Structure 1
């Protein structure tokens, strides 16, 4: 600092020059007082005159006055008693904001001689501000598939007070689903988080309301509260369900095409697309190239799509599915049993197996003229059959009229045998000649022969020994399908005289057909959010055998996650379901491969298998996770716009869009952060955007969130602490608080000419001040306190 003084005829001029490099520090007063904020007008602060060593009688003559940088009307001195008192309302939060220390710095000045005293009045905080939430209600979206221990950050309250008065705790109203966890940040502030403790079910409770209360540490304690409104978002966790697992319908054969069979109805507890249902037919048994039924995919109405014929098939099993439109979709199933009722729509069929013509005119009464087989569909009926014979010209006419009252039924043969299917050629069936009372010697002369409607080559008789044997391969399933009874009906005919015998050969089933699944590999898609006990219907196997040979049992392995359940309904049809045993995690296992085996009840046991390929479909159950919770970065205040501050990285183990991340500043964001920084939403780069000024703000605490793109987004959070480093970009500031001019030429050495304060807003060495005077001047600087100086006369003035 340089002072120069130049004389002239009528004036004396004082020139001052300073080189200043330091900043003024608080808490440096010669006298220290304290006063609580919000103290009333006139509140006693201190006996300032006495404490500074000044007599009351000299306050007015020496021009006692108080100066303060900033608001100087907060405190005043009574010159009659030398007491410092509160003059106007002191609001600590308005005066010092969130600063941990808050003081009013006073300079007391008296003249004759000039003196300066530094007084510091500390403003103490009182608990006059309750905790305040930014909004009256916070909305939180939570998926009903969110796993236990999921975290949902809440916006905390703020308290304008300081210290213990601003130390907040939180309390959550009682509920059975969420608890409160407090997260402590690096700046010792705390944030509340909701922790899910019980599995949610939107169908049971679509929303929750709770009260979050913030309590400060003051006495008396002040509180603030906010309503937490939680909306439970639907996931497709309910399969459509039919009103009944099975339906039974009776229909007459030959009903017109497009006749309605039944109107089905399924319902789904989910909402939106997750509850929209589409109906379809999985399978119709017995399987046929012709599709006899159709279903409306929107209404579930089943109609006839072909001609029903009792004689072709008298029962159909329609397996129906109802699929919702969720992602992934879920299905419900039911069975419709259609029984076809018979109509008298078939005329009898007559087959003449033996006819003795011409008939002798002297033929004896009782002579057999014709042997026929009559086949009609009814078991009990009444009909008349006429047989007429016309000979040549002049020949007599023969007319036969028969009244038929019953059809030959299965099991009514005069002789009964049994033979296993697939018996080898030549297998013994029975001694048919002996059992019919015929002598071996008369078989050939009497033209012994066997007749059968259908395939007559299956069985044959050895005329040498009268034994009935297997002539060609007998396949029971080909011969009788799935009928419980299967027989070959034979008519044994001998002539001279003509006789007819009825023989029934039962074909017994052997276990020659293994269980067969509709496909060798079955792909199943299951969302990882499916809860245990969820059922997934499977197509069972079929076995062409009957009875115990077709009784199927199932097993699946390995089965750590799944088990099988088979249920029989009233119609004795079984449904096979895969049941989830424990929770799935796609991030742990993405696909399960199971082998489903069906075993029949035959001996030896036959088996069939299908490979179950289960793909675990991702749900958004993982929030993005930053590499660190807190990042610390240093940036020079001179950094140009666009400079990279930090590149953040968050990862999400979910798949597809559930793992795609968007970065942003977490709201609410202070205007200072938005002015100074920007963040790239795609790559997490944080860059400078506005001018950084160490003197205005030394530290930025930037809250960042990474949100995935799932249907129900989840978020991860981190905090960036940006420390702004100072550069020497501020010149020292000089304040002359008192200046005694002109200076008398006879002024005594030591006379105070001026009172000077210096400050530099820079930090560290950049804010340290070195003061000096120009050489050969009659003055000197005397440091009265840090960064406070008195300009004192150092030698006698010489006007020449």
Structure 2
């Protein structure tokens, strides 16, 4: 039966000695409590004689015997660091020593280290009483020197940080003494240092404070309330049956009125006398006077008021403690003497009524009277108003006054006046009182609504959703009520000969402006809205502001192909070229325009598909279709090109055109004849050239005079408006919204040109001509200004119809190019683009206005 326990004991000792053999030593650290997480306790690796690499290799770990992991090891530095908040009081309580044992276990080979961390106390706890309020009852007959033990305070800290002393608030009847009991606990004792008198002080309020020895010192306090218990010690026999006394009504509380004295011939309890007021004493007397039951002295308990009661008659009773008790009586007459203790009183006979801000001076606001309860000079009162007041006091009769206006009133500056009236009596010293009267100023509609801005700029993307909000204007009115209630409306004006109300409408309550329909930048770029804010006063006042609406372009138009037009000739545009064409030969030129503006109208050309992609190339920017190499006999006689045209907008818009090219043998190139004829200009062309030079000289002089006139006007206008751009009416020839694009075909001679003129529809396009030589490799001039309302299919049809495949002569080409140059020069000078700065900038910067000049002769003139 005993074999099994002996076996367990042998195994336990075996493991004990085995464990003891792997424990290498013990390390001790000392740290204060409440360290921050991550604070370093010590270099554990160094103290244990370990290298930093051994922490990883040998798997060092720390185990706490306290159950909670307060520490951890920084593997990178080998330091023992604080892992969690350490509260010494929670761990060790009031124990003088607080040590946290740690086990540092290292494997491979197994080693065990014991580390002790001593937690030092800091003064982080203030002394605390078990109760914040201590109540005691002590009889007023208690003799001096009696001690009353009190509850001691508790401080969880130890050592010098623990509880050291007590202090007591100053009181002549009590003192404090500290008594040390077993275990070093300090118990405070309250000692009665002076006899108590309940009639003088019925309750004593003391503050007991406990202090510790820390640095800085911390403290805790408790309130002691001591109630004094009364005894009966009055005498019943009076020396006089009637006492007369006079006292000023401003006597302080506690002042002695008179002392009544009684005697009793008896001994013992029969000679013990108690003073009191008579059984039928009124409450008014009891509230003002107090009697000392032991001495019979009557004290002033409340405040005297001559104006309410000038005389008091008090019945005093004296009773002894005999059995039966005997009672004696006397009368005390108290005469109250008047002093100037009543301040004057201001009375509103009639409450002030609201006054209109346009009321004239002298308007009666309110009726006021003054009175003083004192008598004689103490009751004479005068009233005064502050200096620089908008009001005045007009005396009436018997200290009655009328409050009247004395200046101009403005409700927007002051909507309510708080008038302070001062009343002063003639007493010595004089007393005064003040009363504030509020006078409201009613509004008169004397202010117009004011907008937050003199004008507004609104930037709106085209193609917006109809009914969406464009902008919200806001106006304010300094007036009040209906006079400040604002309604908004749009004044009637014209936008492209249409009432502006057809474009937008406004919420009359909040000033929000909404669109009636979607806007198209290509039709309308900017317009103005005149908004009126009108109040509801009578008569109503109003003001206006201008809202400038700028339509922002969106990429909503795909490039439109002008040449070659697939719509005019079916699905294909047929071109011809000789098989003898060399590399770089100009086959045709694709021309496209985009109705958008800015980046949205930048066009690029790309060869999407081709029968033979190695034979042709398309210029990215000009759309010229040229041969990449010389045509060979093996090339198919019919070539098909699919050219894609893209703009630079977001998202990208694109269109395509299909060009069919026929390779023919023996086809003449017209440019060879042109080169031969260029050296033999006719006399007719010379005369035309002379006329053109004279025309150009005249136009140059005219343009110089126009420029000088415009410069003078711009300088004058810039002084007043800061802008050289004329009004819209001055640019009507250029920005007339009621024009449409017309195409006039001129077929005089072999060379063809198209004239584009303005019409009567909503368009902002210009009038110009385009001279084209689609089959020429060396001469080509294209002038295109797009319009959003232009039917480009119609343009393409006209262009294709005007461009046959026949050859043309150099003379006709030169004549027409010269005429085109004169037309374009006159167009540039006389066109309102020069006059209107905004339109000029728009044309110069608009990539849609694409000019390509390839003729050497024309290029020289143009430069």
Q: TM-score, normalised by structure 2?
A: 0.32
Which has the larger Rg?
2
The structure, 1 or 2, with the larger RCO (C-alpha pairs under 8 Å, 6+ apart) is 1
Which structure has more helix as a fraction of its residues? 2
Q: TM-score, normalised by structure 1?
A: 0.34
